Amino acid sequence: MRTIGLMSGTSLDGVDAAYVETDGERIGRLGPSVTIPYPSSLRRELRALLDAAPTLHDEGRLADPSVLEAARRLTEIHAEAVAKLNRPADLIGFHGQTVLHRPAKAPGQSGHTWQIGDAALLARLTGVEVVHDFRSADVAAGGQGAPLVPVFHRVLAEALPKPVAVLNLGGVGNVTWIGPEGELIAFDTGPANGPLDDWARRSLGADYDRDGLLALAGTPDGAVLGRLMAHPYLAASPPKSLDRLDFDAALRESGAGALSPADGAATLAAFCAVCVGAAARHFPDPPVQWLVAGGGRRNPALMKALASMLDAPVRPVEVAGWDGDALEAQAFGVLAARVAKGLPLTFPGTTGAPHPLTGGRRVPAYA
């Protein structure tokens, strides 16, 4: 199938679109990709929605006018990305924008996950069948609903020496450990670019710490770092996943706000690396290398901190011939094909699903 995968991650920076030819189990061809940054006004709107989402959800206000407007604008930009890619497609994999993620915290509990975006509008704007709502079935079955990309990582890494770890550094970090026989263990590691981006906005009035210059100019604060490292999430065993704001209270209470702009950025970069180091303790065997995707791989401060924390080479995914900017969008192209074929998206080792689970919903073209 010819698919277009779309992804807007927890960094809230824009939408990636990628063309993939796949049957859901193998990749015939990875084609071109494009990125459309969100306008600053939409980024602010989405960031405000993250703060409001728990109240909106708990009050049953999922169709609040602010939500519908953000969903419309977001969907139209996704349609622009499809048009800019300009490739014929049988399916579009549309993740939408996560605004709230509260999976079950214990067996037997129910959880929920909320991604905004209008799949029917996207189908009308593009004239292509849209696959969406990839996470809900897993969460309803007691799984974490995240991460979703490990099955795609396994396909990409088929020829690589193993064990190998694929680390994605978006707003939140997530890792996939792939064993010699294709075994999968995956979970969210902890905060990544999200707190750094928020810090850059407060300190510099910038969307992010370009080239890690602010963090590289500072020194991590040991006391603040120690308080952050005490967060119970780091010691919890997988499966586990995070909401973009799960660490916000801990960050406020850590004393990080009193640090200088440079020291605060350096501390947050070091904390991201500490979270990844803590994640490595949950692997059956150490990886022979770490391959890093997402915007964090472009931050020298983050990559330097990771290299000092981990006992194996830490490299951007480009060394394996992958496109670290398009990787998650490509994954949703493959996942869309898996939905169409009724193949599982999540597994006990990736989300804690009780067994391999299918998921996703389909909206026909011109719905």
Nearest to 363 by CA among 342, 327, 339, 329: 339
Considering only CA atoms, give the Rg of the chain: 19
What is the enclosing helix (H) or strand (E) of 183?
Answer: none
Q: Is 11 annotated as a binding residue?
A: yes
15: annotated binding-site residue?
Answer: yes
d(CA 350, CA 100): 19
Q: Which residues pair with 5 in a beta bridge?
A: 18, 93
d(CA 199, CA 84): 32
**Which DSSP category does 295 fall into?**
G
- 346 marked as binding residue: no
Token code pair at residue 292: 């890093």
Beta-carbon contacts of residue 332 (< 8 Å; ≥ 6 apart): 5, 6, 7, 93, 94, 95, 134, 148
Q: Are 5 and 134 in contact (CB under 8 A)?
A: no
How far from chain centre, in Å, is Cα 130? 20
Question: Is 205 labeled as ligand-binding?
Answer: no
Per-residue buried b or exposed e for 222-255, using 16+ beta carbons within 10 Å of the residue's own CB: eebbebbbebebbeeebbbbbbbbbbbebbeebe
Residue 12 assigned ligand-binding role: yes
Does 14 count as an annotated binding residue?
Answer: yes
Say if residue 9 carries a ligand binding annotation.
Answer: yes
CA distance 215 to 198: 13
Give one DSSP letter per residue of 275-288, joined into a string: HHHHHHTTSSS--S
294 known ligand binder? no
Residue 171 DSSP SS3: coil
- The residue with tokens 């407007």 is 69
At which residue do the structure tokens 């969460």 appear? 139
Classified as helix, coil or strand, 200 is helix
Q: Which two tokens stand for residue 314?
A: 């830490």
Q: For residues 289 and 274, give the distance between their C-alpha atoms in angstroms, rounded to a whole number.
A: 17
- The binding site consists of 9-16
- The binding site for ATP consists of 9-16
